Structure 1
């Protein structure tokens, strides 16, 4: 479970992470959006999840969110302070194993964070 201080909650925060000047990296299972704000540099990284109805019914969507939350919580040390992440699940996520999701996150998180850091310096 993600601690409360590491959760994105407001829709404006989700919108700024997804549409703002940051990094985005996608694969067949998930898309990771990252943005860094200099004003939030001393605050912990925050993560939000988007799982649409295309993934499945309510039970499948909630199970997918729980799996993603668990996997991202284990990888939170890879995300620098002041970074907002949004992990968007694609329909194939529902059928993926935990190992596949973990490998996908291991591959995508560093790339999205690096792109967000480069765009915040520019």
Structure 2
């Protein structure tokens, strides 16, 4: 799967939440959060179809769009790319960066401890 851009994520979030969906409906939803031109959104839709992330099916005179991959698959791929790009693929380095950056609240630390304990017990 090819990586998708931040702009393409906006389109995919709409498609994941409302599928099947027409291009006009995608445009209507994306414009609510952006000031993009409808042609820009059409371009993003075409790119996503070309990348194989979005599927188009012709129904009479219009196309309906469906996700070709799940949100979870895209998140997993983005996570791998982020980890590789920023931390040389090392989860430990990333986690250390977040922990040492004082970005975690006590509640977040407790949640991380629970996640690690659950993972350990499996």
State the TM-score, normalizing by the size of structure 1.
Answer: 0.26
Instruction: Name whichever structure is richer in helix by fraction.
Output: 2
Name the structure, 1 or 2, with higher relative contact order (CA <8 Å, separation 6+): 1
Pair member with larger Rg: 2
